Amino acid sequence: MEGRRKKRKQTKQPFVRRLLPFLRPYRLQTAALGLVMIMVGGIDATFALWTQQAVDRFIVPGTIQGLEGFIIGFLAVVLWQGINVLALIMLAGYLEMAIMHDLRNRSFRHLQDLELNYFNKTPGGWLMSRLTSDIQKIGQTISWGFVDIVWGFTTITGIVVIMLVLNWQLALVTLSVVPLLVWISRFFQTKILRSQRLVRRTNSRLTASYNEGLMGAATTKSLSREQDACDEFAHYTRRMDFMSVKSALFSSLYQPVVVVFGAIGTALALWNGGIRVNMEIITFGTLAAFLSYTAQFFDPLRELARVFSELQSARAAGERVFNLLETEAKITDSQEIIQRYGDTITPKYQAWPKLRGEIEFKDVSFTYEKGEQVLEHFNLRVESGQTIALVGATGSGKSTIVNLVCRFFEPSSGRILIDGRDYHEYGQACLHGNLGYVLQSPQLFSGSIRDNIRYGRLDATDQEIEEAAKTAMAHEFIVQLPKGYDTPVGEEGGLLSTGQKQLISFARAVLADPALLILDEATSSIDTETELLIQQAIQKVLSHRTSFVIAHRLSTIVDADRILVIDKGRIMEDGTHRELMAAEGIYHRLYRNQFIEEKERVLLS
Ligand SMILES: Nc1ncnc2c1ncn2[C@@H]1O[C@H](COP(=O)(O)OP(=O)(O)OP(=O)(O)O)[C@@H](O)[C@H]1O
């Protein structure tokens, strides 16, 4: 009992209740849309009555007396219906866009609050489909599904009521096929939807395989794996074909079934209605109205069956989006800190202290969510303006140390102080605003070179951008490009070489002028000339600020103020290049090995 109660407590709120806050700002529009749909459905249900009147008043008696008024009345109703349809398209379209807009913004805003590790754990493709297709599905189904449901129910109710009023016995005979049709419609729609879902799932696998094939083209070729890649792709296309044919088969079977049931309904109306006309229980016009209704009845029924099945998949999409929105950020700031320094979306720059960049790890231990302890009682004090190089084997903990400095992760125990204060006291926005991180593979955004450098400080003038580029040794290559600073860099900087991208990211860091800089030095090999430029640029970028360099090429860090040799999360050696070489320890060995390797490389090339 206790366990069950606990379980119930943990269950998430029902889907509709989670959705309501998103509909609340648009309740007026939703109510207006509901009203319009009731009118549209109601008018649709009365159209057959015009046929009845036309037959009984004009066709059977063979007179045209009063026809003008009848036609004017009919046209007025058609015109009114036209206006209603226009209103419904506008309102439903507005609602669809507004819901999608709000959900997208909320999700994107929420993603900004989540810690870096969330992005490490969550595949990019998964997030992309939450933000695109899932949100689109919710917007579409809620607005147009709402339209179809209100219209469907109003029309069906209207038709049934009118038929019963006209002649309830004939109504019951004609409608006797409906329960079976409802059941069959549900059956087919569920099948169709399920197979469409499988088609979509296979399609995303196919796209992933296509993507991997394109992105990994070089690796595939170098390993002669083309045949395997082709086989995998062929497997998914075959599966896709099979699923699509299955889905199309259900759709194509469903239509004739509905037509057959419609025909049975019409036959019943004709047979039983014919007898009643003969017995003069009903008029010719009433029989004509019944025949219209049997044809008209199945449309809303089909729509309702479709919408109810689609609601299932919209609900699944909704749950995925709400799960994203309800993911709690693991690294957060207190309300007091946010009020004082703002958050990442609304930073209060003026209130931020200018950091000197003194850093202290005080007895820091750290374990990743799933994994062994990486740091244990780790202590380190870095003076303002020092360049600290971190050296060590792969997996030794270098990135973990800098990720802790950046507060991408937080210590499991112990404290990190910046300028003598616990770094929680600055808040993430202020800390990150004072921090620069130059990655191994620099991230450029589509736009011009100028835009990409300006990303470091949005209010920088063109002259400041050029100054920064000069300091970072990027100016010379930029001015040689046909459009200079206005040259587009292409998607993710695809039109530039790795070395050029790195120089631009250095210029960006110079422009931002952070108190604290992290440099994950590139491992990719670049030509000697660019490498020399990059070395010079690094020296300039690092000067006058506290910097951590994760060094892969030891030649880069010979001038560092301190070199820390890390092994299994512990500092094994600590000193300048000269001191560590003289000590003839691990660093000495690493340096000599790399020196010999590089010499051999030069001799071989
Ligand atoms: N996000 C993570 N979740 C779980 N374990 C992790 C995570 N990131 C790193 N680790 C583990 O923590 C340890 C230290 O990794 P870290 O990335 O700090 O090493 P590194 O010295 O920077 O290595 P490299 O030079 O290869 O980048 C490794 O054992 C690694 O497997």
383-423 tens-digit pLDDT: 999 999 999 888 899 989 999 998 989 999 999 999 999 98
Measured in Å, residue 418 CA sits from the centre of ligand 1 at 24
What residues line ligand 1, using a CB cutoff of 6 Å?
117, 120, 368, 370-371, 374, 392, 394-400
pLDDT at 185 over 60: yes
Is residue 280, in this structure, part of any structural domain at all?
yes
Give ipTM to 2 decimals: 0.96
Number of domains in the chain: 1
Give the model's pLDDT for residue 10.
43
Measured in Å, residue 371 CA sits from the centre of ligand 1 at 10
Give the model's pLDDT for residue 3.
43
Q: From the CB of residue 34, how many other CB atoms can be counted at a distance below 10 Å? A: 16
Atom 16 in ligand 1: residue holding the nearest Cα: 397
Q: Which atom of ligand 1 is nearest to the CA of 390?
A: 21
Is residue 226, in this structure, part of any structural domain at all?
yes
| Whether the Cβ atoms of residue 174 and residue 276 lie closer than 8 Å to each other | no
Q: Which residue has the tokens 């709690």?
A: 328
Q: φ, ψ for residue 427 (rounded to 5)?
A: 80, 155
Is residue 187, in this structure, part of any structural domain at all?
yes
| Whether the Cβ atoms of residue 511 and residue 473 lie closer than 8 Å to each other | no
Domain span including residue 309:
16-325
Atom 29 in ligand 1: residue holding the nearest Cα: 395
Q: Which tokens belong to 601?
A: 């490389």
Give the model's pLDDT for residue 373.
87
pLDDT per position as a tens digit, 463-510 = 999 999 998 888 988 999 888 999 888 766 667 888 888 888 888 888
**Measured between alpha carbons, how far is 404 from 38 in angstroms, rounded to an integer?**
59
pLDDT per position as a tens digit, 16-58 = 788 888 888 999 999 999 999 999 999 999 999 999 999 999 8
pLDDT at 4 over 70: no
pLDDT at 298 over 80: no
Atom 7 in ligand 1: residue holding the nearest Cα: 368
Sheet containing 413-418: give its strands across.
373-382, 359-367, 413-418, 421-422
Give the model's pLDDT for residue 154.
96
Q: Which residues contact 445 (CB under 8 A, 6 or more apart)?
A: 451, 452, 455, 489, 492
Q: What is the mean pLDDT of residues 201-220?
A: 73
pLDDT band at 9, cuts 50/70/90?
A: very low
**Measured between alpha carbons, how far is 581 from 560 in angstroms, rounded to an integer?**
13
Q: Give me the DSSP letters along 179-205.
A: HHHHHHHHHHHHHHHHHHHHHHHHHHH
pLDDT at 91 over 90: yes
Residue 272 sits in a domain whose CATH number is 1.20.1560.10
Q: Give me the DSSP letters along 287-327.
A: HHHHHHHHHHHHHHHHHHHHHHHHHHHHHHHHHHHHHHHTP
Is residue 142, in this structure, part of any structural domain at all?
yes
Is residue 285, in this structure, part of any structural domain at all?
yes
Closest CA to 502 of 453, 557, 442: 442
Q: What is the mean pLDDT of residues 132-159?
A: 91
Is residue 603, in this structure, part of any structural domain at all?
no
Is residue 398, in this structure, part of any structural domain at all?
no
Give the model's pLDDT for residue 345.
74
Measured in Å, residue 514 CA sits from the centre of ligand 1 at 25
Give the model's pLDDT for residue 493.
65
Q: From the CB of residue 49, how many other CB atoms can be counted at a distance below 10 Å? A: 16
Closest CA to 552 of 440, 426, 387, 410: 440
Instruction: Give the count of alpha carbons within 13 A of 83, CB side only.
Output: 6
> Ligand 1, from 116, 364, 400: best to mutate by most atoms within 8 Å of Cβ?
400
Atom 30 in ligand 1: residue holding the nearest Cα: 395
Atom 13 in ligand 1: residue holding the nearest Cα: 395
Return the axis-axis angle of helices 226-278 and 178-215, rounded to nearest 10°: 160
Q: pTM, whole model, 2 decimals?
A: 0.69
Is residue 390, in this structure, part of any structural domain at all?
no
pLDDT at 7 over 60: no
Atom 25 in ligand 1: residue holding the nearest Cα: 394
Percent of the chain with pLDDT over 70: 92
Q: Which atom of ligand 1 is nearest to the CA of 117?
A: 1
